[in-house]
């Protein structure tokens, strides 16, 4: 039966076949190097003791220390964590940053814990896993259900154990304790940089191009904000409350203010209001940012998508079958592990700052992030066009997969693992 993990492994298999890599490499790269499962006892504020289960999956370290977020989610399974850690190995490799891949998590609904209990759980997670974490070993960050505040508690707990300030062990911390202000918008900014590059290659430029954003959360808001600053016209935005469509262009800053104060994009005062949150996928736009959640563009609705470029801000918003349909219509799909890498690239920059006890200012950091994202896109674009012309691949995702696996393969070979 197909699952998130089996889909990810299938991708690795396809990438190995396309790249012509040997079976031993597939064996190494399709399985985690180490999985740690821990029990975390927490004395809750109501006096009861609750034992949580926590994971850290260290998938691959050929290119550098393990790197990946910590997810707090009630339905998290170990298999999901393995799948997410595998994706991190690919994402970090494609991004050209010196990291392997990892992911951690706790099976918990963080919304059901009060602040005190959440802090106790974060500290407990670090206590249980401190021996396998470290600035040159494994560097976690936030993911779904975890925040920069939680990274601050984890950093503090880890520092107590090692008897010194150890900021480089966790990234996306609050700016006051060795974080960087760019992290707040890094993913959406990265999506905008990639959208601009893709528009230059496939649409002759970004200026005046119409953009639609599904999902007006952290990724979608900043994607919309920066792409409009770069000269595009955002014509639609959506969240679970519905879609706002205005062919004349949406005032993104006003929309952000409305969304962040009232919780709903449909309270935006202008434009047409459509109750369907998916309507943003179908409006007349040149570029579409599916920036909400997974599995939004499927075989059922792919025929209604009008955009010429899809930049996947969310993880897994397009199903593989729908992607093939889009490709048949010459729509370019920029895959998630290229498009939304801005967050982890920013984490890398924060880590570099922390290791040196050096602080770059916001503009300098943003410029570095932009340069890395642009280079990543251009490298992938070049590979895609090269492989596409020989008929070897149809999608940019497959070209990105080959490129990511190539770097891991070369690192393993030169280290003597293969
Ligand atoms: P978020 O919770 O801040 O925002 C998600 C938004 O999507 C919310 O506004 C929600 O109302 C909306 N939404 C949910 N279902 C929808 C639907 N069916 N139609 C329209 N809107 C819908 O989350 P986020 O951090 O922006 O993450 C969004 C996606 O980006 C996720 O797939 C996440 O894994 C991915 N991502 C985020 C980051 C990051 O740094 N935030 C990094 C990499 C990948």
Percentage, residues of the chain above pLDDT 90: 96
Give residue 278 CA to ligand 1 midpoint distance, Å.
Answer: 13
For residue 314 and ligand 1, the question of a CB distance below 6 A is answered with: yes
Strands 272-274 and 242-245: antiparallel
> Any bridge partners for residue 212, and if so which?
236, 288
Closest by CA to 101, choosing from 35, 147, 3, is: 35
Residue 4's pLDDT band (cuts 50, 70, 90): confident
Helices (H), 96-147: 115-129
- 175 CB neighbour count, 10 Å cutoff: 15
Is 264 considered catalytic here?
no
Model pLDDT for residues 201-238, shown as the tens digit of each residue: 999 999 999 999 999 999 999 999 999 999 999 999 99
For residue 219 and ligand 1, the question of a CB distance below 6 A is answered with: yes
Residue 7 has pLDDT above 90, yes or no: no
Given 67, 91, 103, 259, the catalytic residue: 103
For residue 147 and ligand 1, the question of a CB distance below 6 A is answered with: no
Give residue 169 CA to ligand 1 midpoint distance, Å.
Answer: 26
The pTM of this model reads: 0.96
Domains and CATH numbers, the chain: 3-10+21-166 (3.40.50.10860), 186-334 (3.40.50.720)
Give residue 400 CA to ligand 1 midpoint distance, Å.
Answer: 23
For residue 241 and ligand 1, the question of a CB distance below 6 A is answered with: no
For residue 292 and ligand 1, the question of a CB distance below 6 A is answered with: yes
Backbone angles phi, psi at 68, to 5 degrees: 170, 165
Average pLDDT over residues 382-394: 94
- 328 CB neighbour count, 10 Å cutoff: 10
Residue 2 has pLDDT above 90, yes or no: no
Q: What pLDDT score was predicted for residue 38?
A: 98
Model pLDDT for residues 154-181, shown as the tens digit of each residue: 999 999 999 999 999 999 999 999 999 9
CA-nearest residue, atom 35 of ligand 1: 314
Residue 1's pLDDT band (cuts 50, 70, 90): low
For residue 238 and ligand 1, the question of a CB distance below 6 A is answered with: yes
Angle formed by the axes of helices 362-389 and 342-356, to 10°?
A: 130
Residue 400 has pLDDT above 70, yes or no: yes
Distance CA(56)–CA(34), nearest Å, equals: 8
Backbone angles phi, psi at 59, to 5 degrees: -80, -50
**Quick check: helix, strand or coil at residue 24?**
helix
CA-nearest residue, atom 33 of ligand 1: 314
Q: What's the whole-number average pLDDT of the chain?
A: 97
Q: What pLDDT score was predicted for residue 173?
A: 98
Q: Which two tokens stand for residue 331?
A: 């729509």
Percentage, residues of the chain above pLDDT 70: 100
Helices (H), 130-251: 148-162, 186-202, 218-229
């Amino acid at each position: 039966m197909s699952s998130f993990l089996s889909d990810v492994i299938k991708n690795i298999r396809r990438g190995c076949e396309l790249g012509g890599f040997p079976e031993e490499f597939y064996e190494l790269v399709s399985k985690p190097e180490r999985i740690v499962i821990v029990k975390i006892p927490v004395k809750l504020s109501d006096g009861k003791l609750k034992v949580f289960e926590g994971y850290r999956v260290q998938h691959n370290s050929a290119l550098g220390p393990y790197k990946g977020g910590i997810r707090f989610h009630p339905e998290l399974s170990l298999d999901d964590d393995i799948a997410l850690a595998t994706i991190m190995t690919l994402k970090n490799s494609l991004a050209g940053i010196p990291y392997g891949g990892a992911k951690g998590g706790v099976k918990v609904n963080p919304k059901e814990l009060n602040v005190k209990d959440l802090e106790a759980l974060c500290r407990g997670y670090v206590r249980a896993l401190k021996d396998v974490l470290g600035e040159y070993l494994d560097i976690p960050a936030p993911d779904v259900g975890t925040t920069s505040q939680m990274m601050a508690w984890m950093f503090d707990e880890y520092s107590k154990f090692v008897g010194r300030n150890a900021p480089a062990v966790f990234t996306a911390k609050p700016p006051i304790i060795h974080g960087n202000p760019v992290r707040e918008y890094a993913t959406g900014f990265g999506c905008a940089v990639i959208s601009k590059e893709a528009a230059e290659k496939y649409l002759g430029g970004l200026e005046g191009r119409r953009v639609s954003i599904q999902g007006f959360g952290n990724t979608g808001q900043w994607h919309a904000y920066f792409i409009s600053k770069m000269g595009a016209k955002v014509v639609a935005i959506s969240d679970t409350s519905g879609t706002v469509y205005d062919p004349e262009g949406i005032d993104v800053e006003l929309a952000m203010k409305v969304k962040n104060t009232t919780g709903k994009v449909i309270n935006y005062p202008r434009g047409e209001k459509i109750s369907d949150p998916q309507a943003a996928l179908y409006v007349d736009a040149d570029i579409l940012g599916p920036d909400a959640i997974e599995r939004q563009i499927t075989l059922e609705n792919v025929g209604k998508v009008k955009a010429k470029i899809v930049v996947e801000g969310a993880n897994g918003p397009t199903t593989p079958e729908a992607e093939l349909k889009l490709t048949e219509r010459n729509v370019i799909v920029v895959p998630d592990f290229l498009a939304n890498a801005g967050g982890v690239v920013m984490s890398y920059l924060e880590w570099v700052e922390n290791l040196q006890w050096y602080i770059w200012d916001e503009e300098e950091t943003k410029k570095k992030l932009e340069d890395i994202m642009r280079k990543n896109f251009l490298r992938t674009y070049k590979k895609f066009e090269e492989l596409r012309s020989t008929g070897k691949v149809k999608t940019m995702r497959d070209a990105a997969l080959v490129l990511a696996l190539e770097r891991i393969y070369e690192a393993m070979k030169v280290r003597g693992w293969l």
